[in-house]
Structure 1
Amino acid sequence: MADNNQSFSLVWFRGDLRLHDNEPLTMAIKQSQGRILPFYCFDVRQFGPTYSFGFPKTGPFRAEFLIESVQCLRDGLRKLGSDLIVRVGKPEEEIPKLIKSLNVPVTHLFGQKEITSEETDCEKSVHRALGKLDKKVESKLVWGGQTMHHIDDLPFQVEGGHPLKVFTHYRTMMESKNISVRQPFPSPSKLQSLPKTGKEDREVSVGDLPDLDQLMAIGNFGKWLQDHVQRDPNYKGDEIVKEGPTSNSKKHRDPAQVMTGGEVAGLKRLHFYLWEGRHIDTYKSTRNGLLGSTYATKFSPWLATGCLSVRQIYHEIKKYESKHGANDSTYWVTFELMWRDYFKWVGLKHKNDIFKLYGLKGEKKDEQREWKKDVSTFEMWARCKTGYPFVDANMRELTATGHMSNRGRQNVASFLTKDMKMDWRMGAEFFESFLIDHDVTSNYCNWLYVAGVGNDPKENRYFNVVKQGHMYDSKGEYVCYWFPQLKKLPDADHMMQPFLYKGPEGTFSLDRDYCEPVVKVNFKKEGGDHHRSHGKKDFKIKRGGHGGRTVRDGAPQHSSTH
């Protein structure tokens, strides 16, 4: 039992829902000799509307994953002799309320420092609230392990940021200087129990976790879904049999797409992908896959919630390379984790510019580009009714499961911004709502990149969705998985462009089985991309001990985080 005469440190868990490699947790244990108050708050603002277009910030897939992750953290803490105090509200209100209710002094608050404005505004609010307490509580927010390379180890100042103009400059600098990755902090082995509370000396109320319905009610997700995303009841060709986001259960969803939140499941996935299946050996050749559970690492949901430490992944890969040897694929996973770091630094440097229409380019007086904001047009994309199966199948996977491959994300983003000419922020905020692995800087910086207002030196980068469909779904297996009615078509050419079918109406009917295209995409099978190229270029790099490798520094290929 905790001694109520000794001080405690409060650990504010945020985007670090794990026990391994948790610097704030380690610091708090050291500060108070194991007397800690583990705390997590489901911030109601994270379930409210997005800034520009009012989409629900957190949809059911990520919310369900988050609930599971918090429950796993609580289970882990209980095994160590402590518990997780859970509240639903605003941290700046719930943390002082908790501290005032205790019979012990709380002298320190430890937590992970975040990057983007909503999170940093919350930090400032918590700091101000602590300053109003009768007794001083020192707040220590640290960088922690949210990036592979620690911010203090960078060979440049993020605010100056010259190496951040393009990814290639950043990568070559980091590799040429051989910047090391810090060792993860070990998990604690034992903790003290929680202190007493109130005049009656009762056990502190740890609180119940909210259920999914409770969280979805905050942002009125059900109504928004019905109004903007769910299929038109008059559209008879939509024969999808998968469970959509209105289902609270995972049991009906494709097993390849079902992931359980929490540190235990994340570490299990890491062990499976590296050691059990050795899938990392072939990652470079499979990373553009579309179906199944092993074509990519799929670490991203656990990285986004902080259930997995990126440093833990890195050092586990190094351990794997020591035993089985390094190859292009093992390097490529760390290369793509470097992309993840890069976008963290871009977000830190450019702050709210990553959420603005003109992004990192800034608004230009001679800007002639058209950015549409028409909701009805946008909904054709959101409702999987663009008339291009490679786009619609990816969007259906997203809205039915919360997942989408890296290849799919690039294509649907390019189609929305370059073909439909829509405001890229509509797509980014829609992704924020639906993606199970949404990470603020990765999501928004990727959309900036594809839209041509980010860190891509080639502003007119373009993905021809018909050509891409032929390249990455040559037999039409993926599009037919999500649109079974396309199996009526004779070949993959027509599966990628159903509007070209001129056969007997008794077999396939565009009006009955699918839909007309919302825009025209120019494509000739022999000529590839006609009006724009997506412009990738290969070159060789050398890295100590690994020999020459072909690295593609075109559009970001960081599907290891998808």
Structure 2
Amino acid sequence: MHDGVSIALLTCDLRMHDSPVLHAAAAHRGTVPLFVLDDAVHGAGLAPPNRSAFLADCLVDVDRSLRKLGSRLIVLRGDTATETARLAEAVGAARVHVAADASAFAQRREAQLRKALGDRLVVHETVATIVAPGAVLPFGRDHYAVFGAYHRQWALVPRREPLPAPGTLHLPDGVTGLSLDQVVGLLTEDGVAPGLPLGGEGNGRRRLWKWLDSCSARYDQLHDDLPGDATSRLSPYLHFGCLSATEVAHAVGATGTPGAEAFLRQLAWRDFHHQLLAARPDAATHDYRPRGDRWRTDAADLAAWCAGRTGYPLVDAGMRQLLHEGWMHNRARMITASFLTKTLYLDWRAGAAHFAHHLVDADVANNQLNWQWVAGTGTDTRPNRVLNPLRQAQRYDPDGGYVRRWVPELASVPGAAVHRPWLLPAPTRARLDYPEPIVALDASLSRFRQARSL
């Protein structure tokens, strides 16, 4: 073993630019860029097809970039700690560099790596966020429970400068792993959304610069406009670490526009949820603030919601977008989640599981804790608020363009009438092949208020 070789264990940082792990490992004379297809995550039938397909794109992109630097990506399959330790012994690595992360799985992985590698393991501050979990704390507590207070402190934290991509990397001779064809084969499954975006750092950076040029300055005015579709769509690239949240914050902040401030606030929400999950890992499955809910169990209602057949066009449009793209507009996420938990009064965990299966950007912190926020079991200071889908439609899809895009049965219905198809003449409704509402909004609101008052 000598200081000449290190391993850069890539996890949620599948990129060249602003990679503290690669940057530190590149200081050694020999560097092994490593990714482990962990059986606990990527075993047969475990990883959702959309995320597996996106991950395959990411790994191919990383390998392509590394080859331009004189190296390549080594991909192994098995337990991360076991495979990393085995490789470290084989190449005589003095250091293994990895980034911290907030999820319970990542914390267990780090502990296992520490046990296997001892002081050879170097854990870098998380690269998934701009401000690391625990970097700002309220007096006498281990995390912030209210976003506003967190955001005020978050905005004061100096941001580090993004790191450049490494110049060259030398891969020691004789290091072998799976071929990229094998990797793609292992990650290719049936059921991938037909409109899934392409993964990888290159695609993420192109999307970032295009959005900065076109929509970022007016993000504060446009981000809730459903038919306008002016959100950045960067969340999958941030989730997989194809883009650095720190670099994105620098690029957006440099524009100095009101839109930039609104977008940075969304990045702060990501960090807020990561610091909450790091302090309370059980919030992934348990109510952060229990409300005494006795959730209904109704398989038919849940199935209708999952399929986008609730009879409420705006809700159904969001759910159809999810099935087609593996992604959903953020405003639609809030509307569909509120409908499930408060209008249908079904358990938020069922909705979170459906989103986690289909959303390519579904990380534990943001998916689970956003669901808890909407369900009123999380950090929302107004836990009993209900997003009425008809009022939301009036505000964010007033002419029905979003609905007509994603619910083709209603494409012929003009204007705002598309949001209330049950008011159309009976012969017209019969031709539409669209369901009647599965619940009455007034009755469901009364049911929810009664449930939360107990």
TM-score (norm 1): 0.74
Residues 210, 392 of structure 1: CA spacing in aligned structure 2 closer, same or farther, 3 A cutoff? farther
Equivalent of 2:278, from 328, 340, 348?
Answer: 348
Whole-Å Cα distance in 1 between the matches of residues 344 and 134 of structure 2? Answer: 42
AA matched with 1:480 = R
In 2, are the aligned partners of 1:58 and 1:432 still within 8 Å (CA)?
Answer: no
Matching residue of 1:237? none
Q: Per-residue CA shift, 1:481-512, capped at 9, x if unaligned?
A: 2222213445523x2222233x151x3317x6
2:41 maps to 1:121:
no
Question: Identity of paired residues, percent?
Answer: 29
CA spacing shift, 1:156–1:36, aligned 2, 3 Å: farther
Q: Secondary structure at the match of 2:18?
A: coil
In 1, distance between residues paired with 2:43 and 2:303? 20
Q: Quickly say closer, same or farther: Cα 1:377–1:212, change in 2 above 3 A.
A: farther
Do the aligned residues in 2 keep the contact of 1:24 with 1:110 (CA within 8 Å)? yes
> Are 1:472 and 2:392 an aligned pair?
no
Task: State the distance in 2 between where 1:140 and 1:447 align.
Answer: 34
Query: Corresponding residue for 1:188?
Result: 166
Deviation at 1:212, TM superposition (A): 5.8
AA aligned opposite 1:268: R
The question of 1:408 aligning with 2:350 is answered no
SS at match of 2:373: helix
1:437 aligns with 2:361: yes
Are the structure 2 counterparts of residues 492 and 210 from structure 1 closer, same or farther at C-alpha, using a change threshold of 3 Å?
farther
Question: Would you say the 8 A contact 2:283–2:369 is kept in 1?
Answer: no
Give 1:328's aligned residue.
258
Unaligned runs of 5+ in 1: 50-55, 132-136, 197-202, 223-244, 524-528, 534-562
Task: Classify 1:530/1:372 alpha carbon distance in 2 versus 1 (closer, same or farther; 3 Å).
Answer: closer
User: What value does the CA root-mean-square deviation take over the aligned residues?
Assistant: 2.7
Unaligned runs of 5+ in 2: 449-454
- For the residues of structure 2 that align with 1:410 and 1:440, how far apart are their CA atoms? 17
Deviation at 1:182, TM superposition (A): 1.1
Aligned counterparts, 1:84-483, within 5 A: 84-100=73-89, 102=90, 104-130=91-117, 138-151=120-133, 153-154=135-136, 156=138, 160-161=142-143, 164-175=144-155, 178-196=156-174, 204-205=176-177, 207-210=179-182, 214-215=186-187, 245-246=191-192, 253=195, 259-274=197-212, 276-277=213-214, 279-291=215-227, 295-319=230-254, 321=255, 326-356=256-286, 359-362=287-290, 367=292, 369-483=293-407
SS at match of 2:180: coil
CA distance in 2 between counterparts of 1:97 and 1:486 reads 58
Distance 1:504 1:19 in 2: 59
Q: What residue identity is the alignment partner of 2:12?
A: G
How many Å separate the matches in 1 of 2:405 and 2:169? 49
Give the letter for the 1:460 counterpart. Answer: N
Query: Residues 340 and 192 (structure 1 numbering): CA distance in 2 closer, same or farther, change over 3 Å?
Result: same
Aligned partner of 1:558 in structure 2 is none
Q: 1:522 deviation in Å?
A: 3.1
Residue 509 in structure 1 maps to residue 433 in structure 2: no
* Partner of residue 225, structure 1: none
Give the C-alpha shift of residue 377 in structure 1.
Answer: 2.8
Which residue in the other structure is 1:236 paired with?
A: none
Change in CA separation of 1:352 and 1:48 when aligned onto 2, cut-off 3 Å = farther
Residues 517-556 of structure 1: pairs in structure 2 closer than 5 A: 517-522=437-442
Q: Give the C-alpha shift of residue 430 in structure 1.
A: 1.1
Match of 1:9, SS state, is: strand
Q: Secondary structure at the match of 2:295?
A: coil
CA distance in 2 between counterparts of 1:337 and 1:246 reads: 28
Alignment CA distance shift 1:272-1:216 (3 Å)? closer
For residues 363 and 347 of structure 2, the distance between their equivalents in structure 1, rounded to whole angstroms, comes to 20
* Distance 1:211-1:111 versus aligned 2 partners, 3 A rule: closer
**Is the Cα–Cα contact under 8 Å of residues 55 and 199 in structure 2 kept in the other structure?**
yes
Matches of 1:78 and 1:158 in 2, distance apart? Answer: 49
Given residue 401 of structure 2, which amino acid in structure 1 is its aligned partner? E
Greater radius of gyration (CA): 1
Is the 1:57–1:433 contact (alpha carbons within 8 Å) kept by the matching residues of 2?
A: no
Contact 1:194 1:204 (8 Å CA) reproduced: no
**Aligned partners of 1:405 and 1:26: how far apart in 2?**
34
Instruction: Flag the 1:192–1:487 CA change in 2: closer, same or farther, 3 A.
Output: closer
CA contact (8 A) 2:284 2:364 kept: no
CA shift, 1:216, in A, is: 5.7
Listed one character per residue, the Cα deviations across residues 452-481 of structure 1 (whole Å, up to 9, x for unaligned) are 010111110210012112221111121122
Q: How many residues align?
A: 448
